């Protein structure tokens, strides 16, 4: 019997846990009576590369525009393409769906489609946030159109793919299919749970040393940060009930024996009712089945709340339910800069949150942005002083890591990009377009890219001296250096990213 749909993950995405999207889509289409397989081709390629230099060369090839590839690495990639195409041709599904998770998956998607078209006679679908050029919210949609117009794909899906993919399998059209008129799904509780059968046995590089499955509890965000493009993609914040989320976690445990979960959404405490209900449902399950507190472990992105919004009891319940590691978009430790960003919390709120985490054994991870357009030397110094103040939390493990990122990037769809004139932002060259790291501020002319990089380096050196763990710090600096050189040479254009 012919398989209806084969879903493929391509480079370059993380290897630390199974991709959530393709397994969710498998559950959705199977709920509608179709057959589906998931193949994580990204993992199969990158996990096979044991030489660090080859791994870096190949990942750079997929993720950095105009990157060169050595002859030995080119052979590895070409052999991978050949094997993947052979697998698809032998399986002969009615449809092949390629997940373009971010724009870093565009090169692999294009090159796979070019090869696939020569041998595979079925229909090719692409979808995902990576249909955008530089961010999830761009309205240009050049990548989907370019592959469709080149005859490399039959369908591209914009927006959420659950309904659109089923419509394609039914051989019908609709919102988001070869057009930008996608409609946001409002009832997330109605969707099927992800089916991880096809990827559960992959040896992912789990950071905790054992199987950890992704769970998505919401879409969108309750806040409107000026640098973020999420609201141009998800117009409103939608979320699942705490009971529905708990039921999914329990079902994965009872099916796969998995006790550890990572929430993929922008924030796990966006709806406080849903969050509290989730904690209560999990604690109730533990008690009914004679299981200890925190039998499941889980974490995800967290927004800092005030003491009135989350009281100490909430943190105690969360710890009992198994909440362990959370990533917080702190961005800056200057209160004024966070106000400019529209972050929505004060230093006193952060102080309170950290102390509650310490008392309940919940640890956290800081996500930072260096070089916001209004950041001055004084704001930068304030951030360094606050990190010095929080050193004790790094020493005792409450703050288990800091991600300094690659300095502020201007993404299409974000308020900074849409209102760039209001913010006084422009590209460094008159004949280029505003995006990414290529920007200057007329109101803060000292904040050049070189100055932002220097502040980024200075902050990393301070954190390392203070005993913080800085995640991927040197790799990010290497990427920054490459971007800086391309901007100087006037070769840093989003069209290069799109079509390279």
Rounded Cα–Cα distance for residues 370 and 341 (Å): 12
Strands 323-331 and 363-368: parallel
Tell me which residue of 13, 9, 11, 104 sits closest to 65, measured CA to CA: 104
CATH number at residue 318: 3.80.30.20
Rounded Cα–Cα distance for residues 66 and 436 (Å): 16
Q: How confident is the model at residue 132 (pLDDT cuts 50, 70, 90)?
A: low
Residue whose entry in the numeric block shows the structure tokens 């200075």: 458
Query: Could you tell me which residue, 23 or 482, shows the higher pLDDT?
Result: 23
Residue 159 sits in the same domain as residue 291: no
Q: What is the pLDDT of residue 304?
A: 98
Q: How confident is the model at residue 135 (pLDDT cuts 50, 70, 90)?
A: very low
Residue 234 sits in the same domain as residue 184: no
In this structure, what token pair is assigned to residue 428?
């460094």
Residue 184 sits in the same domain as residue 216: no
Domain that holds residue 152: 5-189
Q: What is the pLDDT of residue 488?
A: 67
Q: Give the number of other CB atoms < 10 A from CB of residue 103.
A: 23
In this structure, what token pair is assigned to residue 455?
């502040």
Q: How confident is the model at residue 492 (pLDDT cuts 50, 70, 90)?
A: low
Check if the beta carbon of residue 2 is closer than 8 Å to that of residue 121. no
Tell whether the torsion through CA atoms of 165, 171, 175 and 180 is positive or negative.
positive
Long-range pairs, 285-294, Cβ under 8 A, ≥24: 285/246, 285/250, 293/319, 293/320, 293/321, 293/322, 294/319, 294/320, 294/321, 294/322, 294/324
Does residue 201 lie within any of the structural domains? no
Alpha helix segments (H runs only) across 368-490: 377-389, 391-395, 415-418, 420-423, 449-466, 473-488
Tell me the percentage of the chain whose pLDDT exceeds 90. Answer: 79
In this structure, what token pair is assigned to residue 409?
């990037």
Strands 260-263 and 323-331: unpaired
Q: How confident is the model at residue 140 (pLDDT cuts 50, 70, 90)?
A: very low
Does residue 25 lie within any of the structural domains? yes
- Looking at residue 209, the DSSP 8-state letter turns out to be S
Task: Find out whether the peptide bond into 380 is cis, omega within 30 degrees of 0.
Answer: no
Tell me which residue of 118, 93, 104, 107 sits closest to 39, measured CA to CA: 93
Spell out where 390-454 has E strands.
399-403, 425-426, 440-441
**Per-residue pLDDT reduced to its tens digit, 430-468:** 767 787 888 999 999 999 988 998 999 999 999 999 999
Query: Could you tell me which residue, 168 or 498, shows the higher pLDDT?
Result: 168
Does residue 250 lie within any of the structural domains? yes
Residue 308 sits in the same domain as residue 177: no
Residue 360 sits in the same domain as residue 413: yes
In this structure, what token pair is assigned to residue 416?
């900074």
Total domains in the chain come to: 2
Tell me which residue of 414, 419, 417 sits closest to 224, measured CA to CA: 414
Residue 124 sits in the same domain as residue 13: yes
Does residue 22 lie within any of the structural domains? yes
Q: How confident is the model at residue 155 (pLDDT cuts 50, 70, 90)?
A: very high
User: Does position 171 have pLDDT exceeding 80, yes or no?
Assistant: yes
Domain end call among 189, 221, 241 = 189
Residue 352 sits in the same domain as residue 284: yes
Residue 268 sits in the same domain as residue 184: no
The helix/strand/coil state of 346 is coil
User: Does position 487 have pLDDT exceeding 90, yes or no?
Assistant: no
Does residue 38 lie within any of the structural domains? yes
Q: How confident is the model at residue 67 (pLDDT cuts 50, 70, 90)?
A: confident
Residue 286 sits in the same domain as residue 164: no
Tell whether the torsion through CA atoms of 284, 193, 162 and 19 is positive or negative.
positive
Spell out where 349-441 has E strands.
363-368, 399-403, 425-426, 440-441
Bridge partners, 99 (sequence order): 9, 127
In this structure, what token pair is assigned to residue 329?
């978009």
Residue 263 sits in the same domain as residue 332: yes
Strands 123-127 and 95-99: parallel
Does residue 458 lie within any of the structural domains? yes
- Looking at residue 436, the DSSP 8-state letter turns out to be B
In this structure, what token pair is assigned to residue 283?
């604690």
Element (H, E) at 302: strand 297-302
CA distances from 296 to 81, 199, 344 (A): 38, 21, 31
Q: What is the pLDDT of residue 419?
A: 92
Does residue 195 lie within any of the structural domains? no
Residue 334 sits in the same domain as residue 226: yes
Q: Phi and psi dihedrals of 93, rounded to 5?
A: -75, 160
Residue 172 sits in the same domain as residue 249: no
Q: What is the pLDDT of residue 66?
A: 77
- Looking at residue 127, the DSSP 8-state letter turns out to be E
Does residue 198 lie within any of the structural domains? no
The radius of gyration of the chain from alpha carbons, rounded to an integer in Å, stands at 23
Q: Averaged over 287-292, what is the pLDDT?
A: 98
Q: Biggest alpha carbon distance in the chain?
A: 67
| Ramachandran bin of 404, using left for φ above 0, alpha for ψ from -120 to 50, beta for the remaining angles | alpha
Tell me which residue of 304, 189, 325, 305 sits closest to 246, measured CA to CA: 189
Strands 425-426 and 440-441: antiparallel
The helix/strand/coil state of 180 is coil
CATH number at residue 106: 3.40.50.280
Distance of CA 440 to the CA centre of its chain: 26
């Amino acid at each position: 019997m012919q398989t209806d749909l084969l879903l493929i993950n391509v480079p370059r995405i993380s290897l630390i846990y199974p991709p959530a999207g393709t397994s969710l889509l498998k559950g959705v289409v199977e709920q509608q009576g179709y057959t589906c397989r998931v193949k994580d081709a990204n993992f199969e390629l990158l996990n096979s590369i044991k030489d660090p230099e080859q791994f870096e060369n190949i990942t750079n090839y997929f993720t950095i525009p105009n990157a060169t590839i050595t002859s030995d690495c080119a052979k590895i990639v070409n052999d991978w393409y050949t094997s993947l195409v052979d697998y698809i041709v032998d399986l002969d599904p009615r449809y092949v769906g390629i997940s373009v998770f971010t724009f870093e998956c565009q090169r692999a998607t294009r090159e796979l489609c070019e090869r696939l078209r020569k041998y595979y006679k079925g229909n090719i679908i692409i979808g995902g946030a990576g249909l955008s050029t530089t961010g999830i919210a761009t309205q240009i949609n050049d990548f989907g159109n370019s592959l469709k117009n080149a005859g490399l794909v039959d369908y591209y899906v914009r927006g959420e793919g659950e309904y659109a993919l089923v419509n394609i399998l039914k051989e019908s059209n609709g919102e988001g299919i070869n057009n930008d008129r996608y409609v946001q799904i409002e009832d997330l509780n109605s969707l099927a749970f992800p089916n991880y059968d096809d990827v559960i046995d992959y040896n992912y590089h789990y950071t905790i040393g054992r199987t950890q499955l992704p769970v998505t509890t919401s879409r969108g965000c309750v806040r409107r940060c000026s640098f973020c493009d999420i609201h141009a993609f998800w117009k409103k914040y939608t979320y699942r009930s705490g009971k529905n989320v708990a039921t999914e976690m329990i079902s994965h445990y009872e099916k796969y024996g998995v006790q550890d979960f990572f929430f993929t959404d922008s924030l796990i405490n966006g709806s406080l009712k849903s969050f509290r209900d989730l904690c209560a449902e999990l604690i109730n399950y533990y008690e009914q089945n004679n299981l200890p507190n925190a039998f499941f472990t889980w974490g995800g992105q967290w927004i800092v709340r005030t003491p009135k919004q989350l009281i100490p009891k909430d943190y105690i319940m969360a710890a009992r339910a198994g909440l362990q590691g959370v990533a917080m978009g702190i961005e800056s430790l200057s209160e004024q800069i966070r106000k400019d960003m529209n972050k929505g919390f004060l230093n006193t709120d952060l102080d309170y949150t950290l102390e509650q985490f310490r008392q309940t054994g919940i640890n956290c991870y800081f996500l930072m942005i260096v070089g916001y357009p209004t950041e001055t030397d004084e704001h930068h110094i304030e951030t360094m002083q606050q990190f010095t103040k929080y050193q004790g939390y790094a020493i005792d493990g409450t703050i288990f890591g800091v991600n300094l990122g690659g300095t502020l990037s201007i993404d299409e769809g974000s308020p900074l990009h849409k209102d760039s004139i209001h913010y006084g932002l422009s590209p460094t060259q008159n004949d280029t377009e505003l995006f990414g790291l290529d920007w200057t501020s007329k109101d803060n002319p000292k904040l050049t890219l070189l100055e932002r990089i220097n502040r980024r380096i200075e902050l990393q050196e301070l954190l390392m001296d203070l005993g913080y763990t800085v995640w991927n710090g040197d790799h990010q600096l290497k990427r920054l250096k490459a971007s800086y050189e391309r901007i100087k040479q006037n070769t840093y254009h989003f069209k290069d990213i799109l079509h390279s």
